[in-house]
Amino acid sequence: MPDSPPRLLDQVREKIRLKHYSIRTEHAYVDWVKRFVLYHGRRHPRDLGLGEVEAFLTHLAVADKVAASTQNQAKSALLFLYKEVLGAPLPWLGDITQAKASRRLPVVLTVDEVSDLLDRTSGTCGLILRLLYGTGMRVMECLRLRVKDVDFVRREIVVREGKGSKDRVTMLPARLVAPLRAHLEEVRVLHRSDLDAGLGAVWLPFALARKYPNAAREWGWQYVFPSARISIDPRSGRQGRHHAGDKAVQRALRQAARDAGIAKPATPHTLRHSFATHLLQGGYDIRTVQELLGHADVSTTMIYTHVLNRGGRGVESPLDSLDRTPPRPGLLRAREGGACYAGAGQA
C-alpha cells in the first residue's frame, strides 16, 4: 500500500524548513493556515480562492480587530501556502489589498529612566536588559548569541542571522565585560555538566551539524544565555538545551518599570529604541547608528531623529513667548481681576 501524502500542515512545515525560515515564522505560518482552514469549515485550500482569502482577512480586521501588521502577516502566510506549498497559480494575487500599517513613533525612555529601570534589575535578566540597551540588539538576537560571537579583546559582538538574515557587528560595553565573563564561567560549568550527562549538543544552523559532527558540543557554539531546562528540539527531535526564552526578560522589565514608576509602555524593544535615540542625542552620525541597528535603509533609522527636535521640530510655541511680550493694558486688567477674558473677535 503506497504511503499517504503528508498532511497539509506538515507540508507547510517542510517547505518553511527548506527555505530556512525561523522557527517563529514556522509557528506563525502554520497557525494562520490552520485558522484559515477552520474559518472555512475545514475545506481544503485548493478549493478556496480570492474570495475566501479576502473574507478571512476582513474577518480578522473587523471581528477580531487585529493590527494591520498582524493582518499582513496572515496574508503572507496564506500567499506562502498557495505559492510555495500548493503550487497554485495566483492570478488574483494583485487583487488582495495590503493593510496599511500605522506609522507610529517609538516609545523612548530618557537616560534617567533607563538608569532607574536597570538599577531595579539583577541576575541573568538584568544582564540581558543591559546588553539590549548597551548594544541595540533585538531581544531574540541577544538570546541567540553564541559564545564564539562575543569578542572580549576587541570589545565587540557579532550578531548572526539578524532580521533579514543579515550579520552585523555592534559594540560590547566596557562595563559589561566583567559581568559577562562571570556569567559565561557559570554557563561553562553547566555545559560540562550536560556533557557528563551525555547531552551538551546545541542546534546548528543549515548543514553545519553534518559538516562538523562535533561542533554542536564545542564550547564556542553554546548559547550565551542557555535555557534553565532540557527540552526536545521540535525540528530534529533531539534532546538538548536551547537558548533562554524571552518571557522572563519581558516580565523582569515590566516589573522594573513599575517599581521605577515609569508610566510609558516599555518593553525590551524599547531599550533598542532608547539606544538609537541616545546615540543620536550624543552626536553620533545617523549612518553609524543605522549600521549598528542593522537597518537596510537609513529612512528606517530616521524615525529616531524626532527626539532631536524640541516640541514641533524645534519650533517654539507662541504660548511660551508670552512672558517675554509686554501685555496690553486691557489684558493686564483682566489678568489682575482673575476672570476668564474673551475678546469680541475670538476665533
* Cell numbers given for 235: 525540528
| Inter-residue contact 50 to 95 (CB < 8 Å) | yes
Q: Which residue has the cell 543591559?
A: 130
Q: Which residue has the cell 535578566?
A: 125
The CA-atom distances, in angstroms, between 242 and each of 170, 221, 228, 238, 245 are 24, 12, 9, 11, 9
* Residue among 137, 120, 155 at smallest CA distance from 260: 120
- For residue 291, the tally of other CB atoms under 10 A from its CB is 15
Q: How far is Cα 183 from Cα 253, in angstroms, rounded to an integer?
A: 20
Q: Which residue has the cell 532540557?
A: 230
| Inter-residue contact 117 to 71 (CB < 8 Å) | no
Could you list the active site residues?
138, 163, 269, 272, 295, 304
Burial class of 36 by CB neighbour count within 10 A (0 to 12, 13 to 18, 19+): buried
* DSSP helix/strand/coil, 136: coil
- For residue 331, the tally of other CB atoms under 10 A from its CB is 12
